Structure 1
Amino acid sequence: MSLLRDENLGGRERPRPTLHELRATPETVHWGYFSASRAPSLRVASGDIIRAEAVTHHAGDAPELMMDASVQAIFDGVPIEDRNPGVHILTGPIHIEGAKPGDILEVRYLQMTPRLRYGSNLAAHWGHLYRDFGKERVTIYRVDEACQTAEAVFAYDFPGKYEVPGTITTEKECCRMPALRGVRVPVRPHLGTAGVAPDAPGRVSSIPPGKHGGNIDNWRIGAGSTMFYPVQVDGALFSIGDPHISQGDGEISGTAIEASLDVIFQLFVRRDFQFPSPLLRTANSWMTHGFDEDLDLAMRGASLDMLELLTEHYRLSRDDAYSLMSVATDFSVTQVVDGRQGIHARICTAVFPPDGQ
């Protein structure tokens, strides 16, 4: 039942955590990949708190609104030929002292704040319905901080295909068009991509999600949530990126509202339990994730991991767990646009007796 409790330090007083700052610069980001061989941008101890910058690779969709001098420096300082094989700007990696393969990295996301008031949604050629539209379209949104909503301020048709990560588009005023007049969407800042380095040679693309985390695109990975990532290499080498200010399940057009975030999180190395895939804890639920190019197989992966959560950590029998999964677990499509598609399974903690939480 250790997964269901806070980190257990055997009765010892937990040491006071150190607060670290990790700015996103050309030297502290890696664009488009995770790598077990990349030198850490920061070294911390278990329990430390990090205040880090997560920068969107879509800042160039409206550079006058979505870039400041520091963001511009990243776009200028990381050559296009070094932005591969994926597309996301990742801040890190962070080496956590003592983390070893087989451990679990617990990440408590404490705060996520938009860096600027604007974000971009791209209806992209990798979007689910691109064949029905035959073009790419950018919609720029503005955040209303008082209401915690976002509204579209203008849109434009992207010239050609968005194929170069970090493309900067200076669209003309005459090309702008109104969009979604009167519509407001809730702001729910979260990280589309975050995770540990996979145990694999060379660069691993930031686009597909996997056992290491990566591009999960679950909008619930925001402030107040906790993620558990299986550590695969020494030090875990944790990175964050692909920040969003809102997204629906499915991310059907190809992106969320992409916008840079300032993120505060706390890291713990856990050795008192194991779990096979990225696991999410929110204020009132648990979520398991399944990934595969085949959505049916992604569903099976999320189901088997939920079965493991219920049997190994809530001590239900397999038969009881299977019944509970059918009557109380919600299975939803996380995203269908990252090549490797995602399913998340959610069970509310209120269904369990209080001593089981």
Structure 2
Amino acid sequence: MAEFFIHPDRSTLHGSFSKEFTPIVSINSGDTVRFETIDAGWNAGPFQFDGVREKFCERDHPQDSGHALIGPIYINGAREGKTLAIRINDIKTGNWGWSTGGGFPNTINKRLDLHEGPEYALMWELDASNNLGISNKGHKIRLKPFMGIMGMPPNEEGIHSTYPPRFCGGNIDCKELVPGSILYLPIAVEGGLFSVGDGHAVQGDGEVSSPALECPMQLVDLTFTVIDQCLSFPRAETPLKRITFGFHEDVHEAAMIALEGMLDWMQELYNFERKEALNLSSLLVDLRITQLVNGVNGVHALLSKEAIL
């Protein structure tokens, strides 16, 4: 199988999804692509929050209005009705990152009465070798890096925002998608047109302040396989768990979508009746809030691979 290396520059970066974008490379099912990515905010390097931020490159609007993504990748044989399996082989952070809390009027900040005044901003030094982050104010934390955005465009005309997650991926922001995991995405357009970006050095479920610990990645190592399976919503596997996702403006409905997806998967794996799957889900399945900050909320359902003997 072939291996490709893609670095960020003006020709490989974009800030939206569209089936009309020209692919930067074509690969075959089973090939591996190693990316270097910039941070979601298009920054060239560490910056002062109250100063001018040097950008990595000029942006063309509206197609570059969102997170900095690298791609799209055309996968031969990918087409609507099939599934793209993305195996996450390795992720290594760059040496810096940033995070903020409060200071702007989103729903959570207003509810917590933290929307006025300046944001609480931290700049971080990241040690990828030891998965360690140290902030400019002395906080020391463990890193668990993953990519916030992995996805493809829908089969609709025009430009589509990077901010909401969709059935074909996008801004999923699931902290479980670390090296060793596999993400399964429904394919909506010929070639898939996969893009990746929005590196997170670490994030909690919910991503409650809006950003995670945003950072560039020196390495994102992904293997792509086209599967002859028709999914309606994303799924994922880790070495220990199976995961289904739900996305909706109403977080309760997002939870129901994730649960329905898990019931489907349990029926496929174990030939359960639907009510039987629900009964066992109440005993064995965890529902977690993926994120509450992308306009479309995310919930993921988790089932241990060792739960059913």
What value does the CA root-mean-square deviation take over the aligned residues? 2.1
Which residue among 191, 200, 204 is the counterpart of 1:248? 204
How far apart, in 1, do the equivalents of 2:159 and 2:129 lie?
Answer: 41
Q: Which residue of the partner structure matches residue 194 of structure 2?
A: 238
Asked if structure 2 preserves the Cα contact closer than 8 Å seen for 1:126 and 1:337, the reply is: no
Q: Give the match's secondary structure for 1:296.
A: helix
**Aligned-pair CA distance for 1:137:** 2.8
How far apart, in 2, do the equivalents of 1:349 and 1:126 lie?
Answer: 41
Residues 62 and 77 from structure 1, CA distance in 2 versus in 1: closer, same or farther, beyond 3 angstroms?
closer
Q: Give the match's secondary structure for 2:23.
A: coil
Gaps of 5+ in 2: 49-53
How far apart, in 2, do the equivalents of 1:283 and 1:296 lie?
Answer: 28
Q: Give the match's secondary structure for 1:246.
A: coil
Which residue among 49, 64, 74 is the counterpart of 2:32? 49
Q: Which residue of the partner structure matches residue 83 of structure 1?
A: 64
Is 1:118 matched with 2:96? yes
Amino acid at match of 1:252: V
Q: Give the match's secondary structure for 2:306.
A: helix
How far apart, in 2, do the equivalents of 1:184 and 1:100 lie?
Answer: 45
Q: Which residue of the partner structure matches residue 8 of structure 1?
A: none
How far apart, in 2, do the equivalents of 1:41 and 1:75 lie?
Answer: 19
Q: Which residue of the partner structure matches residue 102 of structure 1?
A: 81
The CA deviation string for residues 225-277 of structure 1, in whole angstroms up to 9 with x for no partner, is 10000000000111001111000001101100000112011000000x33211
Amino acid at match of 1:109: I
Q: Which residue of the partner structure matches residue 6 of structure 1?
A: none
Q: Give the match's secondary structure for 1:35.
A: coil
Greater displacement, 183-192 / 35-44: 183-192
**Aligned-pair CA distance for 1:316:** 1.6
Q: Give the match's secondary structure for 2:156.
A: coil
Is 1:93 matched with 2:72? yes
Asked if structure 2 preserves the Cα contact closer than 8 Å seen for 1:127 and 1:252, the reply is: no
Written as runs of structure 1 = structure 2, the 5 A alignment for 1:251-262 is 251-261=207-217, 262=219
Q: Which residue of the partner structure matches residue 175 of structure 1?
A: none
Q: Give the match's secondary structure for 1:258.
A: coil
Q: Which residue of the partner structure matches residue 264 of structure 1?
A: 221
Aligned residue pair count: 300
How far apart, in 2, do the equivalents of 1:122 and 1:102 lie?
Answer: 40
**Aligned-pair CA distance for 1:351:** 1.4
Q: Give the match's secondary structure for 1:302.
A: helix
Gaps of 5+ in 1: 1-16, 66-71, 154-177
Residues 18 and 88 from structure 1, CA distance in 2 versus in 1: closer, same or farther, beyond 3 angstroms?
same
The CA deviation string for residues 126-176 of structure 1, in whole angstroms up to 9 with x for no partner, is 6553221213232112223454221221xxxxxxxxxxxxxxxxxxxxxxx
Asked if structure 1 preserves the Cα contact closer than 8 Å seen for 2:81 and 2:231, the reply is: no
Q: Give the match's secondary structure for 1:243.
A: strand
How far apart, in 2, do the equivalents of 1:127 and 1:259 lie?
Answer: 22
Task: Say which structure is richer in helix.
Answer: 1
Q: Which residue of the partner structure matches residue 21 of structure 2?
A: 38
% same residue? 29
Asked if structure 1 preserves the Cα contact closer than 8 Å seen for 2:92 and 2:128, the reply is: no
Amino acid at match of 2:145: P
Amino acid at match of 1:75: F
Residues 61 and 78 from structure 1, CA distance in 2 versus in 1: closer, same or farther, beyond 3 angstroms?
closer
Q: Which residue of the partner structure matches residue 139 of structure 1?
A: 122
Asked if structure 2 preserves the Cα contact closer than 8 Å seen for 1:127 and 1:253, the reply is: no
Amino acid at match of 2:225: F
**Aligned-pair CA distance for 1:83:** 2.4
**Aligned-pair CA distance for 1:79:** 3.7
Q: Which residue of the partner structure matches residue 244 of structure 2?
A: 288
Q: Which residue of the partner structure matches residue 51 of structure 2?
A: none
Which residue among 341, 344, 357 is the counterpart of 2:300? 344
How far apart, in 2, do the equivalents of 1:126 and 1:20 lie?
Answer: 42
How far apart, in 2, do the equivalents of 1:248 and 1:61 lie?
Answer: 26
For the pair shown, the structure with the greater C-alpha radius of gyration is 1
How far apart, in 1, do the equivalents of 2:186 and 2:224 lie?
Answer: 13
Asked if structure 1 preserves the Cα contact closer than 8 Å seen for 2:89 and 2:221, the reply is: yes
Asked if structure 2 preserves the Cα contact closer than 8 Å seen for 1:59 and 1:259, the reply is: no
**Aligned-pair CA distance for 1:315:** 1.6
Residues 21 and 61 from structure 1, CA distance in 2 versus in 1: closer, same or farther, beyond 3 angstroms?
closer
Residues 242 and 63 from structure 1, CA distance in 2 versus in 1: closer, same or farther, beyond 3 angstroms?
same
**Aligned-pair CA distance for 1:99:** 0.8
TM-score normalised according to structure 1 size: 0.79
Residues 226 and 321 from structure 1, CA distance in 2 versus in 1: closer, same or farther, beyond 3 angstroms?
same
Written as runs of structure 1 = structure 2, the 5 A alignment for 1:211-226 is 211-226=167-182
Residues 27 and 48 from structure 1, CA distance in 2 versus in 1: closer, same or farther, beyond 3 angstroms?
same
How far apart, in 1, do the equivalents of 2:37 and 2:270 lie?
Answer: 35
